[in-house]
Amino acid sequence: MIGNTSRQEKQKHVGNLSGQVAVVTGASRGIGRGIALALAEEGATVYVTGRTVESGSSRLPGTVGDTAAEATRRGGKGIAVAVDHGNDAQVAALFAQVSDEQGRLDILVNNAIHLPEDINEPGGFWQKPISHWKMIDIGLRSYFVAAWHAAQLMVPRRSGLIVGISGYVGVTYTLGVVFGTCKSGVDRMARDMAIELKPHEVASVSLWQGFTFTEGNELRLKQYPELAAMVASDAGSSVEFPGRVIAALAEDPHLMARSGGTYIAAELAHEYGVVDVPGRTPRSVRAQRGSPIWGPV
């Protein structure tokens, strides 16, 4: 079992994703971009999805092409695919492309989400636009659709890893009703998928990422100074940190023993001996923000 494996043994399995194929959703920028780069750095072929294809078309920097090009420079192979994850036909076309070009899929990272520009504004749910529900559409439903397609490729091969990006918000109030509902749903969906995928040797997990210094969060820290006081410098991480943790998970020979669980990225990093880009391991804030509900199935 994983809990009895030495750190030296774990480290031997980290860092070799050559020949593996991954899809990372919402990877024009932010956490998705970081995950794509981290997986590519380990040698994976990474399909980078997102809506931003032209520089300057978003208020934040980054395009799918930029991420794919950097992924290739990192040593893997980046493939940019423009996908609106609210469009089922585009998602279906993405996985058909993966199947046609690679004949396999090893890793799906569901990361895409719609975050309203006014998400940090105060007020009750009844005072905010109903359109905030789009966080559920692009952040929960889209995870199910992508996983549905991914399973078609993974189950016949009896191998694969599906990761849902979540956070402490799954159990602790953060930024409103819809955001919390979305992320708690990601955790539960990962677990129930794991139950159905277990006989087919495909793993499904939810990964709690703490505060991440994305382009959007850097901007929010400037717009909302009160947020800066809430962010512990030793708990925050770079956008590449969760990708390094996912790479370690993918290389773990005991991965199926993890399936169905919700995990804190900082805690898994400690177990696997993974460090963030600055060479440190972000601190878990389980004691302050709450513990995952779901363990392995």
Q: Give the model's pLDDT for residue 222.
A: 56
Task: Report whether 210 contacts 237 (CB < 8 A).
Answer: yes
Q: CA-to-CA distance for 263 and 255, rounded, in angstroms?
A: 13
Which residues does the chain have with pLDDT short of 70?
A: 1-15, 56-57, 59-61, 213-235
Q: Give the model's pLDDT for residue 282.
A: 86
Q: CA-to-CA distance for 56 and 52, rounded, in angstroms?
A: 9
Q: CA-to-CA distance for 185 and 191, rounded, in angstroms?
A: 10
* SS3 call for 135: helix
* Residues 6+ positions from 85 with CB-CB distance below 8 Å: 25, 26, 49, 91, 112, 138, 142, 145, 146
Q: What is the side-by-side strand order in the sheet with 77-82?
A: 77-82, 45-50, 21-24, 107-110, 161-166, 203-208, 262-264
Burial of 246 (0-12, 13-18, 19+ CB in 10 A): buried
Task: Report whether 214 contacts 165 (CB < 8 A).
Answer: no
Alpha-carbon Rg for the chain in angstroms: 18
| Residue carrying the six token digits 């993966």 | 98
Could you tell me the pTM of the whole model? Answer: 0.88
Q: What is the CATH number of domain 2-289?
A: 3.40.50.720
Give the model confidence (pLDDT) of 106-148 as tens digits.
Answer: 999 999 999 887 887 889 999 999 999 999 999 999 999 999 9
Q: Give the model's pLDDT for residue 5.
A: 38
Q: Give the model's pLDDT for residue 283.
A: 87
Q: Give the model's pLDDT for residue 217.
A: 57
Q: Give the model's pLDDT for residue 9.
A: 38
State phi, psi for 157 to the nearest 5 degrees: -90, -5
Q: Where in the chain are the domains?
A: 2-289
